[in-house]
Chains A and B, each alone.
Chain A
Amino acid sequence: MVSTDILQMAFYLLLLILLAIPLGFYMARVFNGESTFLDPIFRPLERLIYRLTGVDAGREMNWREYALMLVVFNILGMAAVYLIQRIQGILPFNPQHFGAVPPDLAFNTAASFMTNTNWQAYGGESTMSYFTQMTALTVQNFLSAATGIAVAVALTRGLARRTARTIGNFWVDLTRSILWVLLPLSLGLALILVSLGVIQNLNPYLTITTLEGGRQTLAMGPVASQEAIKLLGTNGGGFFNANSSHPFENPTPLTNLLEMLAILIIPAGLTITFGQMVGNHRQGLVILAAMLLLFVFALGVVYASEHYGNPQLGALGMRGPTAMEGKEVRFGIVNSSLFATITTAASCGAVNTMHDSLTPLGGLIPMLQMMLGEVVFGGVGSGLYGMLVFVILTVFIIGLMVGRTPEYLGKKIEAREVKMAILAVLIPAATILLGSALAAVIKTGTSSILNPGPHGLSEILYAFASGAGNNGSAFAGLNANTPFYNIALGLVMLIGRFGVILPVLAIAGSMAGKKMVPPGPGTFQTTSLLFTGLLAAVVLIVGALTFFPALALGPLVEQLLMLAGKTF
């Protein structure tokens, strides 16, 4: 039913935009320190937090100090997650008596949740105690998302201010992100999700006798509270191994719609916030439009490919959609395609379909969106600052074409900013390609592959793209719980996170210090639809030039072989 499918996709996009715009205005008020309707509850709590932690909220930081605080805080968070996993056996809320997580897996998980990747080399219901899920993983879901928002807000300030030395206070941005944005949205969403069937309890697993007399043990847990922030924070780490395809995480089409909205609402809203904070809402709309353009293209390819399906399976004698392996009946082709596109457009990585079983082109797009640097909406905060890096590259390229010094928001873009922007694009890209190349030539890398042939290379590429893009979804056939992948991907996630954040903060610092130059007749307007098109084109061209050869050897050739009737 193509018409119903298109209707569902259009309905989603419409709702997303309707919700993201007011949220964007609200967030601008939050980060400008203006009054909001939640102040009576959270102002006193905010003051209490600053008093307990010794934060001087009135003192702003230059970019170096901001970056230092951010790194220190994230290292501490990672250490805490590592430690809690290692000693969960002696901690409370552990009704299944799970023992210590092995060191390499604990390192991987700690890096993963701190960097907002939420790559999972473990199965949640068979590894982590409720205590670990709540105090280590849920906490990092909040903190890594708040870190992303803080960086985006700091960069926005850097662009908006003139001849300033400071870009804000990291502790204040972090605290306000959590209190005014992430926590209230999570509370609301978690309650709604439970009312619709998502579980939330601390009970031990329940063993029942089935209708046929067999035994089935139902895994339990405080799922909804983690589910809500997992999506709103674009974290993506499922409570259960099957993530958002698990009926206890995502029981109905309505919960699915809400979860998909939760993934993109903050990244989309932040573009509006950006426009507000730089004093020209059109600057934000242009970026939102570029993201939407790329998103609709990506969605179209995934949906078309999944709808067309796998002719080899159809030939065996199947009726209806042939690409149902790894999909749930209640979601079908359209909601699985939509979720897969959304979760990889954002650096979320929650899944309601098993990406490894997607058709080759249906799997190519998620991979490509991660390789593009997670800028099609992208992660909470990281999507906006990632896209702003591409904005800088775009005005630079335009500047080269027309032979003028590039400007953005009335400020000159000079060598330092361009160098930093290039670093922010090159570091993750090089990490993906070099990491995949290494894994593809050594035995410890290739022996984890489940699906032979070109799909095996896709599994490896997907893993490194997911790690460096801080996405966290997987071609999960690849057995990633080995010392090699745990350590390699752990490092890749750290490089992919801080290899972008640090150059971005450096850009924020140097832009903050610049003078405004009045726009002249030769100034290129960055508020036009033309700019939207150029920005989207630069994102695609940079991505395509970097990754086309690798993608050709993986999903592209696999699609052709599939159509030719070949199997491996």
Chain B
Amino acid sequence: MTRRVLTGVFMLVVMTVLTGIIYPLTITGVTRVLFPHQASGSLIYRQGQAVGSALIGQRFTSPRYFHGRPSAAGKDGYDATSSGGSNLGPTNKELVAAIAQRLARVQAENGLPDGTPVPADLVTASASGLDPDISPAAAYLQVPRVARARNLPEETVRALVDRNITGRQFGILGEPRVNVLKLNLELDQLSPSAR
């Protein structure tokens, strides 16, 4: 029996070295050379400063920027050290109340009359809390507000949204979407941030 346990111990050590050290470090080393941009988080730089990751959503509240989805990650949302969704169930009063409140806020922010339908993604919290995208409809809805706040013609801003729509991958996979951070970066190039 001792010999069998020893075989088990040796096997565990060998496999730990192989699959727990050699394997991940090989992938780390190879990808550092082949895909350094992706391996380190697809970071976006502006004037030499990292301003975010192309894959991770950020919190936007200013009327001058397009807003992303509600986020349940961390206390204030978009906390990329505490990813996750709200986990609110379909018959939870809190979910209904939260969505009603978000609807009212989106309508008020964008100067829409009460009762104007709002795209679902703009009033529901994402799974990761870090969703970088919104639906094209959710972006178009915000065009008049952003244009007003930046003193830009609506057509200019709408054209920017048009250009930033990512279609289904290979024409069939996934859903059409707009990356909010990239869109806002291009917006800042169009009319520099007031900040």
Contact surface of A with B, Cβ cutoff 8 Å? 4, 7-8, 11, 49, 52-55, 68-69, 72-73, 76-77, 80, 123, 125-126, 134-136, 138-139, 141-143, 171, 174-175, 178, 183, 186-187, 190-191, 194-203, 205-206, 208-214, 216-220, 222, 224-226, 229, 240-242, 245-248, 251-254, 256-257, 310, 312-313, 316-332, 335-336, 351-354, 356-360, 450-455, 458-459, 475-477, 558, 561-562, 566-568
CB of B95 within 8 A of chain A?
Answer: yes
Q: Is A326 touching B49 in the complex (CB atoms < 8 A)?
A: no
Kindly identify which residue among A138, A196, A318 contacts B19, using a CB–CB cutoff of 8 Å. A138
B38 interface hit (Cβ, 8 Å): yes
Q: Flag if B127 contacts A354 (CB, 8 Å).
A: yes
A-B contact pairs, 29 of them (CB 8 A): A4-B172, A69-B4, A80-B12, A175-B11, A187-B26, A200-B27, A203-B40, A208-B52, A211-B193, A220-B41, A240-B128, A242-B84, A245-B83, A245-B85, A247-B57, A312-B91, A318-B117, A320-B119, A321-B120, A324-B121, A326-B124, A326-B126, A328-B131, A331-B174, A352-B127, A357-B85, A453-B92, A476-B85, A567-B92
Residues of A within 8 A of B69 (CB): 329
* CB interface residues, B 51-81, toward A, < 8 Å: 51-53, 55-62, 65, 69, 73, 78-81
By beta carbon, the residue of chain A nearest B131 is: A328
Contacts of B149 in A (CB 8 A): none
Q: Contacts of A458 on B, CB cut-off 8 Å? A: 89
- Chain B residues lying within 8 Å of A356, measured Cβ to Cβ, are 85, 87-89
- Please tell me if the beta carbons of A142 and B96 are within 8 angstroms of each other in the complex: no
Contact of B56 among A54, A211, A218, A451 (CB under 8 A): A218
Q: Which residues of A contact B169 (CB under 8 A)?
A: 252-254
The answer to whether B174 touches A568, judged by C-beta atoms less than 8 angstroms apart, is no
B contact residues around A220 at 8 Å (CB): 40-41
B123 at interface (Cβ–Cβ under 8 A)?
yes
The chain B residue sitting closest to A72, CB to CB, is B8
Chain B residues near A322 (CB, 8 Å)? 120
Known: A76-B8, A212-B62, A321-B120. A240 touches B19 (CB 8 A): no
Bound CA span A415–B193, Å: 78
Which residues from A are CB-within-8-Å of B116? 317
**Distance of A168 from chain B, by nearest CB (Å):** 16
Residue pair B82, A202 in contact (C-beta under 8 Å)? no
Minimal Cβ-Cβ distance residue in A for B184: A211
CB pair B126 A329 closer than 8 Å = yes
Decide if B105 is an interface residue (CB 8 Å cutoff): no
How many angstroms from the CA of A456 to the CA of B188 in the assembled complex?
A: 46
Of all chain A residues, the one with the shortest Cβ separation from B59 is: A214
Whether A76 touches B9, Cβ cut-off 8 Å, given contacts A202-B28, A241-B82, A329-B69, is yes
Interface pair B81/A248, CB less than 8 Å apart = no
| Residue of B28, B61, B128, B130 with highest tally of chain A CB at under 10 A | B128
The listed residue (A73, A218, A452) touching B92 by CB distance below 8 A is A452
Cα distance A354–B127 in the bound complex, in angstroms: 6
Q: Hey, which chain A residues are within 8 Å of B170, CB to CB?
A: 254
Chain B residues within 8 Å of A225, by CB = 23-24, 27-28
How far, in angstroms, from A82 to B100 measured CA to CA in the complex? Answer: 45
Also in contact, A329 and B135, with CB within 8 A (given A211-B185, A216-B52, A222-B24) = yes
Complex CA distance for A328 and B172, rounded to whole angstroms: 17
B82 touches A68 (CB 8 A): no
- In the docked arrangement, what's the CA distance between A361 and B172, Å? 26
Q: Are B56 and A212 in contact (CB under 8 A)?
A: no
- The answer, among A7, A195, A213, for a CB contact under 8 Å with B34, is A195
Per the bound structure, the CA–CA distance linking A196 and B12 in Å amounts to 32
Q: How far is the CA of A175 from the CA of B195 in the complex (A)?
A: 59
Is there contact, CB below 8 Å, between A247 and B128?
yes
B80 touches A219 (CB 8 A): yes
**CB-based contact B128/A211 at 8 Å:** no
Q: What residues of chain B lie closer than 8 Å to A219, measured between beta carbons?
A: 80-81, 83
Contact of B88 among A125, A329, A357 (CB under 8 A): A357
Q: Which residues of A contact B9 (CB under 8 A)?
A: 76
Digitize B167-195: 1 where CB-to-A-CB distance is under 8 Å, 0 elsewhere.
Answer: 01110111101000100110010000101
Instruction: Name the B residues within 8 Å of A11 (CB-CB).
Output: 172
Given contacts A73-B11, A320-B121, 18 further A-B contacts (CB under 8 A): A52-B10, A53-B14, A123-B82, A126-B82, A134-B21, A171-B7, A195-B34, A211-B51, A218-B80, A316-B99, A320-B137, A322-B120, A323-B90, A325-B95, A326-B126, A354-B85, A359-B90, A360-B91
CB within 8 A of B115: which of A186, A224, A317, A332? A317
Contact (Cβ within 8 A) A174 B174: no
A253, B168: Cβ atoms closer than 8 Å: yes
